[in-house]
A and B are shown apart, each in its own frame.
Chain A
Amino acid sequence: MLGLRQLLHRLRDLARRPTLERDLDDEMRFHLEMQAAAHEARGLDPAAARAEALREFGGVVLAKESVRDARGLTVVDDLRRDIRFAARVLRRSPGFTAVAMITLALGIGATTAVFTVVNGVLLRALPFPHSARLVALFEHDGTKDRMAVSFPNFTDWRAESRAFAGMAAYGAGEATVLGASEPVRASVTAASADFFRVLRVAPLRGRTFLPEESRPGGVPVAVVSEAFWRRYLGATPTLGDVHLELWNTSFTVVGVMPSSFDFPEHSAIWIPLEPLEQGSGRTAHNDQVIARLAPGVTIERARAEMNAIAARLHERHHGDDDATAATVVGLRDEMVGPVRRQLALVFGAVLFVLLVACVNLTSANLARGAARAREMALRTALGAGRGRLVRQLVAENLLLALAGGGAGIALAVWLVRMLLALAPATLPRAGGVSVSATVLLFAVGVSVVTGLCIALLPALQVSATDLRGAIADGERGTSAGRRPVRGALIAVEVGMALVLLVGAGLLIRSFRALLAQDPGFDPRGVLTAELSLPSTRAGSQASIAAYYDQALASVASVPGVEHAALINAVPLGPSGLDGAFAIGDRPGEKGYADYRVVSEDYFATMRIPIITGRGFLPSDDSSATNVTLVNQTLARRLWPGESPIGKRIRPFGMDKHAAKWLTVVGVVGDVRQRGLDTPPRPEHYVFYRQRPERASDATIVIRTSVPPGSVAGAVRERLRAIDPDVPVVLATMDDVVARSLADRRFVMLVLTGFGALALVLAAVGIYGVLSHSVASRTREIGIRAALGADGRRVLALVMRDAMLPVLAGLAAGVGGAALLTRLTRALLYDVSPMDAPTIGAAITLIALVAVAAALVPARRAMRVDPVVALREG
């Protein structure tokens, strides 16, 4: 080992290298001159003396080289030489180099691309100072996972907790904003006083809320995002002149948040929360709560404290407070939690692809190593040490991996764009996904590790080669011994490809099962128009109902439209309202269901069957008995074995008629509201003429006899003619369904892509190994042929050689798939993780590809001419 002193000495030498070289020359020249002078003194003439001195010295170059060696200067030289040599070797076999580079570029590129997404979404710190100290808080009632926090509870939490340096509540929603350059639908966040202070972000311009504005009755002010300010406010420098109208209230713009501040995601406007939350109860779980941990406080301590406070509040406000406990989780975990599993799965899959690429190159390297055994042996005989040869191999593979990695980075830039295009719109933090310095570092690291991995086996092979045997036998002596290793490599890559394909197959089957899942309505041929009535219209019940009367009639008269109807939240769209209600025949009990406001044609438009009773009628107006329809699930849950017709329920807080009972007049078919993979939830429908107030944001669904997209223009025209201030977002119901499956589709497509890639790589690997094995066994095959083995026997021989490792790999792959079921189960729908048809199909596919890949070299073996083979071998 080098001592520290020697190391420093060496580093100094390296730094002074040119001086040292000169010194060395001087020293040698001085020696030669002294020696020549000594010879001259003995009587030789100057020329002869010099020649004698040189002869005695025995080669200046060699001596200098030895000196450099002694000083450890050769390391750098060697490195440079190794790399130069490696480049020459790689250039000499362009075919191998090209295939290897493509393989590595694909493997490293795909891995880097997925890492870019994983890093941007999961790993990157939130863009707030000391963001690891930020947490999100929730309430628990002992039954549901967790709930948003009620404002009174939040206020008490903030007052009673000691674990936090600051706590803030917020709620986000969409609203129609007037007063900007055009009416716009924007994401508006109502945030409590400390919101910006907790996140520690200062405004780009102006200020955030003043204490007196974060109080009931405060002057309405708004802070806008930089993007909103630029796009809709013309980047005006005079903020005080800008007034935005939201919910019939005029807000003065007082500040602009920098574009780096995107919390909650996509928020364009922030307004004070406190004035909106006056009088809300402890069961109104409206608000999201964030907090910053106080210095030195752990999340566990904060959790313990919050649980105690929640229990205390529950005790104090018994009956009014349904929350019994509280949760504290890291804010970043909270934001990315839903996609963590999916991204982890995709990352795992891409690592498999990279591994298959590595295995491929390892086996290619082994084949080349065997072919180069003679070269290596000769170089050893000529004085190259084993270490030197190993170093050479490592240099070659590192160079290859770095070059492949470089191409991979270029590929990754493009792949990331594709991944983001495929990714569901709900992917959190997608805006921050980019090929950053971290990503580049990762790519280089992966390249180096890959290079070392693919050099490992060939290096061991060089160390173990019997040189004399190699020189004497040429490559034949070594190849036979390597066959089991290469068989194992084929098995490994086949196994990994199978695991990936089974995973992809299971996701495809799940996706198909979901598409085949009857949602309870017929989405085909339906156009949806999402509306948001501005506050001027949403002010009174009469004006809401009147707007829809007019809009529905107008849309229904568009040619090609069969029905037009209204609902406040379409199934499989953004989740709608739900709430508790009293049950007429069971005093003291509460029911809980989704709350939907619809027009009379809704069920006909969506083709949802009315099971018993009747639907809504135009005669169910505000003067008539208030009626409701329940879905089958709610009917079964509330009144099992009984007819629900004539029963009564009374929603508590859903509308302005809390005192009026609703009479059930019919039961309608279940629909899947929250997702095709989520069973129908209890749901009840009210009629928009009787209860319009929760329909100010609603969707008109339009059943068409022509392709729904073709009436979109006409529908938009009609709606604009009625009120140009109502923003309209059009989509077909098929789009809504597709969007609800976007995250599954993403994982499925990516995994299928990776499975296909692994399959192609495995095929290339099998082909390569078998080609080489056939080439190196030409002589043996020739002998067999000469001894009478016909083409078929030869073919069988080679194919058996190829298929044994493939079979072993398939078996291992099935085992691997079985081991990984725990990871995939959560992403599957209506299919077992060990689904026999899927596994069978994957096995068949791989077997076919393997046979095809093996057949080319096997047929070559069949055509071996014994005479030629024996003469040349």
Chain B
Amino acid sequence: MTESASELLQGTLDMLILTALASGPMHGWGVSQRIQRVSRDMLRVNQGSLYPALHRLEDRGLIAAAWGTSENNRRAKFYHLTPAGRRALGEETASWRQFAMAVELVLGTA
């Protein structure tokens, strides 16, 4: 459950995952922790949507996965951005910024 802040907008989760992975390969738990930390706990990713999103992105070829060893020496699945994913991230970030700016403008004039 996204308990705090907000219901994540449709498609936003994908962008957040891609952003998280832009800093390097990490496993699913790591992705959720990173989003939570970076957003100062305002965004909490529901694991029930995290894994489907990861697999969906993998299916679309935006991220790829490989099994590796975690920081505590456990077998874990690490995801990383593919070139296509990096491109998609750039596009989504740009369009998100545009959207956010537009919303800000509207709110500002209200």
Contacts and interface: CB of A to CB of B under 8 A. Distances in A.
Interface of A: 5-6, 9-10, 23, 26-28, 30-31, 33-35, 37-38, 56-59, 62-64, 66-67, 69-72
Interface of B: 1, 27-29, 32-33, 46-49, 51-53, 55-56, 59-61, 67, 70, 72, 74-77
Given A6-B60, A9-B59, A58-B1, A31 B52 contact: no
Nearest to B1: A58
A557 B70 CA distance: 114
Contacts of B32: 31
Given A6-B60, A35-B29, A67 B51 contact: yes
A59 B51 CA distance: 12
A30 B52 contact: no
- Give chain A's interface secondary structure class: helix
A72 B75 contact: no
B74 A33 contact: yes
Contact of A62 (B33, B48, B67, B77): B48
A579 B70 CA distance: 103
Given A23-B77, A72-B59, A30 B48 contact: no
Given A35-B29, A56-B47, A63-B48, A30 B55 contact: no
A194 to B, nearest CB: 65
Contacts of A35: 29, 47
A71 B61 CA distance: 12
Contacts of A27: 27-28, 51, 76-77
Given A5-B61, A67-B51, A30 B77 contact: yes
A57 B27 contact: no
Contact of A58 (B48, B60, B76): B48
A35 B31 CA distance: 12
Contacts of B72: 37
Nearest to B60: A6
B61 A30 contact: no
Most chain A CB within 10 A, of B27, B48, B60, B61, is at B48
Most interface-central of B33, B51, B75 (chain A CB within 10 A): B51
A64 B50 CA distance: 11
A114 B52 CA distance: 53
A30 B47 contact: no
Given A30-B75, A35-B29, A70 B55 contact: yes
A64 B48 CA distance: 8
A63 B29 contact: no
A67 B55 contact: yes
Contacts of B33: 38
A23 B65 CA distance: 11
B55 A31 contact: no
A30 B59 contact: no
A9 to B, nearest CB: 6
Contacts of A69: 52
B59 A63 contact: no
A59 B77 contact: no
A9 B61 CA distance: 9
Contacts of B77: 23, 26-27, 30
A56 B77 CA distance: 20
B70 A30 contact: yes
Contacts of A34: 29, 70
